[in-house]
């Protein structure tokens, strides 16, 4: 594994975070979601949204640098103990970056006083989260707009202190 650094995101990371997010949805979701869902999902992504989230006191937005470049990120709602996002650029899948990000998010969750972490898991990431100890609570749909919803699963993991 060649992760050089996991760290809180900085404003200068917004373009790289956007690119990791964009290509993860565009390419990693090809097998799991149709073109309409992917198109509407991508239409919601915006570089400025990451900057806004960085300024929220109860949101942890962290990045993973791989060979010096930001190639993945997570977004964690510390109040709700809910992982809103964890994405890795598809060019560096299977390098341990997602696992490292997830482990850091879990540690931050424990540090905040929570004992479990929840998330909505897209279909393409189900095996990853199961491998990391997450259990499905229910099937769910996340609305992208009034007409398009993403099928996913609500998952939770009880964390070891």
pLDDT at 1: 47
99-142, pLDDT tens digit by residue? 999 999 999 999 999 999 999 999 999 999 999 999 999 999 99
Spans of the chain below 50 pLDDT: 1
pLDDT at 31: 84
| This prediction's pTM | 0.93
Query: Number of C-alpha atoms within 13 angstroms, CB side, residue 32?
Result: 17
Q: What is the CATH classification number for the domain harbouring 97?
A: 3.40.630.30
Structural domain range at position 73: 3-158
Q: How many CB atoms lie within 10 A of CB 114?
A: 17
Report the domain count for the chain. Answer: 1
């Amino acid at each position: 594994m060649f992760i050089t650094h996991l760290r809180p995101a900085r404003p200068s990371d917004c373009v790289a975070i956007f690119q990791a997010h964009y290509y993860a949805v565009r390419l990693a979701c090809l097998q799991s979601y149709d073109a309409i869902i992917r198109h509407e999902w991508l239409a919601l992504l915006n570089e400025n949204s990451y900057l806004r989230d960085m300024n929220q006191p109860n949101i942890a937005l962290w990045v993973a640098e791989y060979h010096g470049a930001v190639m993945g990120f997570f977004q964690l709602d510390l109040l709700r103990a809910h992982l809103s996002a964890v994405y890795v650029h598809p060019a560096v899948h299977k390098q341990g970056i997602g696992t490292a990000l997830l482990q850091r998010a879990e540690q931050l969750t424990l540090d905040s006083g929570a004992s479990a972490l929840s998330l909505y898991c897209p279909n393409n990431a189900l095996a990853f989260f199961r491998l990391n100890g997450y259990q499905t609570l229910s099937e769910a749909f996340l609305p992208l707009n009034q007409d398009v919803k993403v099928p996913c699963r609500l998952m939770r993991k009880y964390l070891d202190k």
